[in-house]
Chains A and B, each alone.
Chain A
Amino acid sequence: MGKEKVEDTRFSRFGVVSFTALTKVNDFVDYLEQGKLMGTRCKVCGKVFFPPRADCYSCLSSDMEWSEVKGKGKLLSFTKLSYAPVGFEGELPYTLGLWDFGDYKVFGWVSKEIPEEELEVGMEMVPRVVKLSDDRLLYEFVKA
């Protein structure tokens, strides 16, 4: 008898709709479950990546460790959507943003608690994990 194949589909829980089921960085989802937003750091050359990568293009190593997104991010830009792709219609309106953490940047949602008028390029914000319905996980940013 052959070995039983166990399917690791943890990544299909990421986001409102996930388009990827299997990746070598599936532990990202377990960390989200613990309330942590994680990137990776190359153990050979020290390069930090967000979003997390399994492989380092700088030194071609695959020896990576997890590294938490810590501190405040500076809002670089944002946009509030009035239209959405299939599967996201129920979330409208929602706001996408990009934050600078110095060594890396993070793309994500702006919390719906914050009205668009209160957003300003340059403001400091922090990420937090959100649990969506249907056992899904996402992260968003709130004011620091």
Chain B
Amino acid sequence: MGRVAIIGVGQSAFVRGYPGSIRELAFEAFREAMEDAKLEVKDIDASIVASAPEYDRQRSPAGVIAEYLGLIPQPTCYVETVCSSSTTGVIMAYSMIKAGLYDTVAVIGFQKMSEISSMEVQERMGRGADIQWESPFGTMMPAYYAMYARAYMAAHGLTLEDLAAVRVKAATYGQINDKAVYRKPVTMEDFANPESRLAGPVASPLRVGDCCANADGSSCIILASEERAKAVCEKPVWILGVGSASEAVNMTGRPDLAKGLRVAIEAASKAYKMAGVGPKDIDVAEVHDCFTIAEIMAYENLGFAKPGEGKELIRAKETYKEGSIPVNVDGGLLSKGHPIGATGGSQVRTIVLQLRGEAGPMQVKDPEIGLVHNIGGVGLYGNVIIMGR
């Protein structure tokens, strides 16, 4: 059975308040991926569209977007795992090609978070978890990650400075990523100064600066069979391993919070096994840093650090571009912004560009194997994808 490659990647700029409709937003990433792959629309056998539907006004957006992109009458469908929707789409496309059903599949992730009013966003926030048993207490996403952060601080001596250091790293690269929504530098002093906006409390111990920004954006990943990829692509990036997992929505069903996210551990172990590689073989990684604590947990759950020792990686700057395991050197969700349905595709794009040596000022030195860790909800869903040249 042949391999599956990524032959084209695209991403819109991630912005606040995109001045267009969702189909136009999707077109931006699609055009870039098609130009990258040097394909025509007739070459795409099927498409998969991903977003988080609570932010959409359009019902069943797949058909609408497929039509706008010129991808009819080819089959299309919609897929959703909240913030990990587009990597779920990539894994589905991988499976369809592997099964021999199609040769070339486009995965289009998008989110126009500004599609609905901020009041509507506030209302949906409360329904982001278990609406029967947790939402009646007034929960929100930052509160859940804050509970993980607190457990880490109590169990492993993680400090507020460690969390701030993750944001400082993200901002280092956000400044050189012209597709990022947050381009400003961030320093440790920004967190130490109580007057600073970034130091303001959100859900203790997390502060404004520990949280990623909402954004509008789109991403597009084009996958192809080995035969197809070799015929049309000079630098195919091969999918070496994929893994996915699910978890209890309610916090009462979670194992020890100080061990991070079980979905990430599960998904990573499957992906490593399938790829036949281990954490030490990864040269560059994109992890789901929706909050600073999430990146520290990812270091451990992916095996870059031992349990409880994730903080040591950021203290030693090992996850900077020059370090032993560069992580989120495109600014991550913290600086790039987090347009939910587009995020996973954007992470995949970054790794593909890195492996091709086309990441510009963000380029890591000669990486051979890259990894994407994309989480849906508060560790409700987890996808890990390992890629190689």
- A residues with CB within 8 A of B: 11, 14-20, 23, 50-51, 76-88, 91, 94, 96, 98, 104-109, 116, 121-122, 138
Contacts and interface: CB of A to CB of B under 8 A. Distances in A.
A98 B137 contact: no
B136 A98 contact: no
A116 B201 CA distance: 13
A23 B40 CA distance: 52
B361 interface: no
B127 A19 contact: yes
A23 to B, nearest CB: 7
Contacts of A80: 201, 203-204
Contact of A81 (B143, B154, B155, B200): B143
A47 B309 CA distance: 35
Contacts of B125: 85-86
A87 B137 CA distance: 10
B305 interface: no
Contacts of A79: 143, 146-147, 150, 203-206
B122 interface: yes
B201 A82 contact: yes
A16 B136 contact: yes
A119 to B, nearest CB: 9
Contacts of A94: 137-138
Given A19-B135, A76-B151, A84 B140 contact: yes
A105 B136 contact: no
Interface string B227-253: 000000000000000000000001111
B67 to A, nearest CB: 35
Contacts of B139: 85, 96
Interface range, B side:
35 or more
Given A85-B122, A122-B154, A116 B204 contact: yes
A122 to B, nearest CB: 7
Given A15-B137, A76-B151, A96-B147, 19 more contacts: A50-B252, A77-B147, A77-B148, A79-B147, A79-B204, A79-B205, A80-B203, A81-B138, A81-B202, A81-B203, A82-B202, A82-B204, A83-B140, A83-B203, A86-B125, A88-B126, A98-B252, A107-B251, A121-B151
Given A17-B136, A121-B154, A105 B251 contact: yes
24 contacts: A16-B138, A17-B136, A19-B127, A19-B131, A76-B257, A77-B257, A79-B146, A79-B206, A80-B204, A81-B203, A82-B200, A82-B201, A84-B140, A85-B140, A86-B123, A98-B147, A98-B257, A104-B252, A107-B134, A107-B137, A107-B250, A107-B251, A116-B204, A121-B150
B123 A98 contact: no
Given A77-B150, A77-B257, A79-B204, A20 B131 contact: yes
Contacts of B200: 82
A15 B252 contact: no
